[in-house]
């Protein structure tokens, strides 16, 4: 893999997706997130580089390192996973980010709840509408619904449940061998009918409502201090390397 994108050096990268979650199968592709340093022209023009690519074996997206703070603050599950990647790399000046991954992952839990539930509903809609995404049309044809999207949708609910019991994001996002992992992999493999999948989703939605999950997450105050520390680390890196 290239170490640059259009002349921008990769300064942080992480292999995310099913491998990082311990939900990979022999058919699983690699999903990478790359963060690049801005060029002088990017800084002068106020631009932030971004690109992406999807294939049957290797998916990636690329962002300006200046975006990382905001992406983590918005607490999207896909970007929090960057902190706990299956494989990771960063330049020494940015090692602080991985060293403080546990704090960064939980710095905005009210956003995390809303973003994760939003992702759940988005993926559920795709499943129920019968829409394939990327290379998943073969799953729709074979099983009658997009089992990969279904797995991701249910994973969102499991993540919210699991974090409430342990308050440890690193543990929460890694599905160790056991019931949760078996449940997700059986859905991903098409071993569960669409009707049974919907029934499982309803059970866990109800469980989250009974636990008053939204109120629990909203009671966790955002930690702006650690967000500002990360921004300062990235700002200092850019200042020293432009």
Which helix H or strand E contains 59, and what residues bound it?
Answer: strand 58-64
Same-domain status, 53 and 95: yes
Mean pLDDT score, 19-27: 92
Considering the chain, what percentage of its residues have pLDDT values greater than 90? Answer: 85
Same-domain status, 176 and 229: no
Sign of the C-alpha dihedral, residues 27, 123, 51, 87?
A: negative
Q: What is the DSSP letter of 129?
A: T
Query: How many CA atoms lie less than 13 Å away from 119 in the CB half-sphere?
Result: 22
Same-domain status, 113 and 214: yes
Q: Following DSSP, what letter does each residue of 100-158 receive, concatenated?
A: THHHHHTTTHHHHHHHHHHHHHHHHHHHHTT---TT-HHHHHHHSS-HHHHHHHHHHHH
> Over the stretch 160-205, which tens digit does the pLDDT of each residue have?
999 999 999 999 999 999 999 999 999 999 999 999 999 999 999 9
> Over the stretch 202-224, which tens digit does the pLDDT of each residue have?
999 998 887 789 999 999 999 99
pLDDT above 60 (res 1) = no
Euclidean distance between CA atoms 52 and 233, whole angstroms: 26
Same-domain status, 66 and 16: yes
Same-domain status, 95 and 132: no
CATH of the domain at 57: 3.30.460
> Over the stretch 61-112, which tens digit does the pLDDT of each residue have?
999 999 999 999 999 999 999 999 999 999 999 999 999 999 999 999 999 9
pLDDT above 70 (res 49) = yes
What is the tally of structural domains in the chain?
A: 2
Do the bridges between strand 30-36 and strand 8-16 make them parallel or antiparallel, or are there none, so unpaired? antiparallel
pTM here? 0.92
Mean pLDDT of the chain: 94
Domain, as residue range, for 69? 4-100+224-241
């Amino acid at each position: 893999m290239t170490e640059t994108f259009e002349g921008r050096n990769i300064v942080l990268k992480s292999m995310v997706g099913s491998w990082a979650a311990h939900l990979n199968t022999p058919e699983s592709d690699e999903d990478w997130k790359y963060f690049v340093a801005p060029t002088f022209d990017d800084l002068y023009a106020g631009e932030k580089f971004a690109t992406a690519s999807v294939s049957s074996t290797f998916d990636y997206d690329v962002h300006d390192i200046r975006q990382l703070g905001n992406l983590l603050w918005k607490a999207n599950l896909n970007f929090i996973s960057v902190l706990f990647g299956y494989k990771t790399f960063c330049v020494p000046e940015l090692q602080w980010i991985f060293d403080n991954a546990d704090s960064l992952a939980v710095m905005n839990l009210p956003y995390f709840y809303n973003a994760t539930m939003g992702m759940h509903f988005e993926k559920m809609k795709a499943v129920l509408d019968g829409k394939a995404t990327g290379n998943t049309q073969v799953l729709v044809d074979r099983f009658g619904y997009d089992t990969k999207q279904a797995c991701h949708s249910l994973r969102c609910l499991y993540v919210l449940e699991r974090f409430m019991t342990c308050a440890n994001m690193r543990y929460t996002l890694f599905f160790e061998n056991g019931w949760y992992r078996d449940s997700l992999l059986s859905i991903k493999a098409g071993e569960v009918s669409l009707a049974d999948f919907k029934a499982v989703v309803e059970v866990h939605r109800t469980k989250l409502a009974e636990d008053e999950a939204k109120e629990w997450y909203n009671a966790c105050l955002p930690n702006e201090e650690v967000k500002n520390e990360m921004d300062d680390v990235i700002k200092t890196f850019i200042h020293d390397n432009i």
